[in-house]
Amino acid sequence: MYSLYARIQFSVLSLCFFTVGALVVAYIGLIAVVMSYAALTVEFSQSVKNNESAVATLEARYLAGVAQITDTDYRAEGYAKPAAQVFVPAKSVTALR
Amino acid sequence: MRAQFRSRIRIVLALVAFAIVCVFARLYFIQIVHGQEYALKADRQFAAGGSGLFDRGSIYFTRKDSSLISAATLARGFLVAINPQTVEDPEAAYAAIASVTPSVLEHDAFLAAAAKKGQVYIEVAHRLTDDEGRTLAARAIPGVQVLRESWRYYPGGSLAAQSIGIVSYGSGDTLVGQTGLEAAYDGILSRSEDSLYKNFFAELFSNVGNLLVDTKDVREGDLVTTIEPEVQTRLENDIANLHERYASRESGGIIMDPATGAIIALATYPTYDGNDLSEVDPTLLGNPLAEHIYEFGSIMKPLTMAAALDAGVITPETTYTDTGCMTVNTRQICNWDAKARGVIPMREIITQSLNVGAAWVARQLGQEKFRGYFTELFGQKTGADLLSETSALLGNLSKSQQVGYDTVAFGQGIAVTPLQMIRALASIANGGAMAEPHLVGTVRLNSGITRELDWAETTPVFSGEAARATTEMMVALVDEKLENGRAKIPTMSVAAKTGTAQLTNPDGGYYADRYFHSFTGFFPAYAPRFIILLYTNDPQGVTYASETLNATFLDLVHFLIEYYTVPPDRGVTA
């Protein structure tokens, strides 16, 4: 009878210690996971932002190119206005299509 | 022994339970009660002196092939800060920084900053490129820190600047949208403060839902406008040339889809570069297209005509006797050349732009009906997504003097914004119904969902028959009168109308020699894809809009036909 009580008491104690230990390990593990996740998120986010910034630079060059073409006086570049323009119906297709 | 052992066990268990409660209580106090405080402390340790990188959603132009080009986005680079307490040689530090970037403070200002030994962080240079930042960081100058920074960047510079808007510090210490779309959609573009590391336990305690669905992601996003960058560039270029050629006070234009209200391009001149606001006249920061009101002149005549046709008081075949001038309430109203035309049909009022004819039509309509139509057209703001829209001035329509109605019939005595004007004129192009003008078509939320904004509501004003009959008159103007018929495009029906209004003087009257010029047109006339409104305020050395705006309008029409490959609607056999 005594040994049974002792075993039960011992089991409860062990269970408590085990639970506390598991909680501590889980807590530390979760912190590690959360920190790693946050670090990766930040790193990826920064990478995306850097790429967006690089794309914005290219877009600025594209828009500057459009502005330059629009502002170009084609006559001054030696081109002449077409003598005639021929419009075709929208449904017309070429043999290549 | 057994009882003693049991009581010890209970004490141990109680201690363990107490410890657990303490741990949880401590967790609660650290992560919930004082969480913000600790987060700030952690952020300060992470980036000394840094205030966190500025973040904000993007605004996009939409090309004709539906690809997106940034109108407003974030640029990233570096800033340079010094710690005056640890800068060993300010002269050498300045020389090193200045050799890398020209954006550093002036020499004397830098030395003065370095002399402030009571401070530990002073920013001395901004917006360094990646290469510049890394070069400077590699030199490891004592007391000089090179830190990441981001800032609002407009790749197009001045492209649609007054519509895109700006961000700046308002009353607080946060950058917020101040004008244009930046302000109108600030709630979507702004990014709420996000802690660097997600506080799992705090989230668990306070808001389990946020762990599963981030509410910010369904609120924050990017804007996709209906502005086409190449059309916008063309319009701005044309408007700038027009403005400079005639030394006007202000010029502007809008190109819109009359059926949907989607604005494809809108420009005013003078304007500014959103990337360099250091010397910008603050009066330019608003959007004149929504905020300035003008008397538009004869481009109002098609609306008068459509109203009378819709009411059934005239038909296209109706005739009247044009006397050249008429006196109403002691005031004389004359045609632009003061010449009498005799008995003529209604279309001549539009094609020859006859003021006496427009006044005659207004009288057939009667004051009450006239007021009803024009209140329907201009009595409400357009609801466009541009802030600070000004209400139209319709005061003359609340009086009983007939001269007020007669003058409104040809566009004097009523002042509206360009946006209100194109919305009203688009009703003629759109079978009699006004669409809602707008700049933003869709919002791309951070959650990945693309939300189409609902701009589908239209306001019917005229019948389809009245709109078509008016359109035919405007087409006749282009085919027969504009540039003496040379402007006619054999393969494309274009409807248009010019407008010349006298400018008001400070005494309440009108200048005899100062004008406001306007021009509107749409094409293909009977199934329009584009409506154009142009204006120039107080052009020098010219009297009539046909002298200033014809060329700009026709250039835009030909450009749009070619750029969008608009198929012919006449003159071609299939």
Q: Which helix (H) or strand (E) holds B328?
A: strand B325-328
Nearest to B89 by CA among B122, B115, B123: B115
- Give pLDDT, residue B330: 85
Instruction: For chain B, say whether A20 makes contact (Cβ under 8 Å).
Output: yes
What is the ipTM metric for this complex?
0.80
Q: Are strands B144-153 and B68-82 parallel, antiparallel or unpaired?
A: antiparallel
B427-445 tens-digit pLDDT: 999 999 999 999 999 999 9
Instruction: State the Cα–Cα distance between residues B199 and B399, nearest whole angstrom.
Output: 66
Beta-strand pair B530-537/B440-445: unpaired
CB < 8 Å from A in window 44-63 of B: 53, 55, 58
Name the residue in chain A with its Cα closest to that of B3: A5
Helix B418-429 with B464-476: angle, nearest 10 deg: 100
pLDDT (0 to 100) of residue B212: 61
With left for phi above 0 and alpha for psi between -120 and 50, is residue B335 left, alpha or beta? beta
Residue A97: pLDDT above 60?
A: no
A70·B237 Cβ contact <8 A: yes
E strands in B419-574: 433-434, 440-445, 450-452, 459-460, 495-504, 510-523, 530-537
Residue B148: strand, helix, or coil: strand
State whether A63 and B159 contact (CB < 8 Å). yes
Q: Which residues, listed in sequence order, are joined to residue B269 by a DSSP beta bridge?
A: B251
CB A52 to CB B74 under 8 A? yes
Chains A & B: contacts with CB separation below 8 Å: 100
CA dist list (Å): B231 to A86, B289, B562: 23, 17, 11
Question: In chain B, what are the helix, strand and coil shares in percent, each to the nearest 5?
Answer: 40, 25, 35
pLDDT of residue B146: 93
B556: Cα separation from own chain's centroid: 20
Q: Is the peptide bond before B270 cis (omega within 30 degrees of 0)?
A: yes
Whether residues B491 and A5 touch (CB distance < 8 A) is answered with no
Nearest to B535 by CA among B425, B372, B401, B413: B425
Between helix B402-409 and helix B355-365 the angle, nearest 10°, is 120
Q: Which residues contact B324 (CB under 8 A, 6 or more apart)?
A: B334, B335, B338, B339, B340, B341, B356
CB B289 within 8 A of CB B386: yes
Q: Would the CB atoms of B198 and A34 count as touching at under 8 Å?
A: yes
CA nearest to B27 within chain A: A27
Q: Is B524 near chain A, with CB under 8 Å?
A: no
User: How far B240 CA lies from chain A's nearest CA (Å)?
Assistant: 11
Measured CA to CA in angstroms, residue B34 lies from B76, B195, B452, B535 at distances of: 33, 14, 41, 60
pLDDT per residue as tens, chain B (574 positions): 567 778 888 888 889 899 989 988 888 888 778 877 776 666 544 433 334 678 899 999 999 999 999 999 999 999 999 999 999 899 999 998 988 888 777 888 999 999 998 889 999 999 998 889 999 999 999 999 999 999 999 999 999 999 999 999 877 778 899 999 999 999 999 988 655 555 556 666 666 666 566 677 778 999 999 999 999 999 999 999 999 999 999 999 999 999 999 999 999 999 999 999 888 998 899 999 999 999 999 999 999 999 999 999 999 999 999 999 999 888 899 999 999 999 999 999 999 999 999 999 999 999 999 999 999 999 999 999 988 899 999 999 999 999 999 999 999 999 999 999 999 999 999 999 999 999 999 999 988 899 999 999 999 999 999 999 999 999 999 999 999 999 999 989 999 999 999 998 988 888 989 999 999 999 999 999 999 999 999 999 999 998 999 999 999 999 999 999 998 888 876 5
Taking residues A40-65, what's their average pLDDT? 91
- Report the pLDDT value the prediction gives residue B51, as an integer from 0 to 100: 45
- Using the Cβ of B11 and the Cβ atoms of chain A, whether some distance falls under 8 Å is answered with no
Q: Is residue A25 less than 8 Å (CB to CB) from chain B?
A: no
Q: Searching chain A, which residue's CA lies closest to the CA of residue B235?
A: A70
Give the single-character DSSP code of B306: H
Residue B62: predicted pLDDT: 97
Q: Do A70 and B233 count as a contact with CB atoms less than 8 A apart?
A: yes
Q: What pLDDT was estimated at residue B237?
A: 96
The verdict on a CB contact (< 8 Å) between B2 and A56 is: no
pLDDT of residue B213: 63
Write down the pLDDT at residue B353: 95
Q: Which pLDDT belongs to residue B552?
A: 96
Q: Which two tokens stand for residue B451?
A: 């939300």
Q: What pLDDT sits at residue B121? A: 93
Query: How far, in Å, CA of B534 to CA of B255, rounded?
Result: 9
CB B458 within 8 A of CB B433: yes
pLDDT of B202 reads 63
Residue-level pLDDT at A90: 57
- Is-contact B156 B73, C-beta < 8 A? no
Nearest CA-CA distance, residue A38 and chain B, Å: 5
Q: Rounded CA gap, B62 and B66, in Å?
A: 6
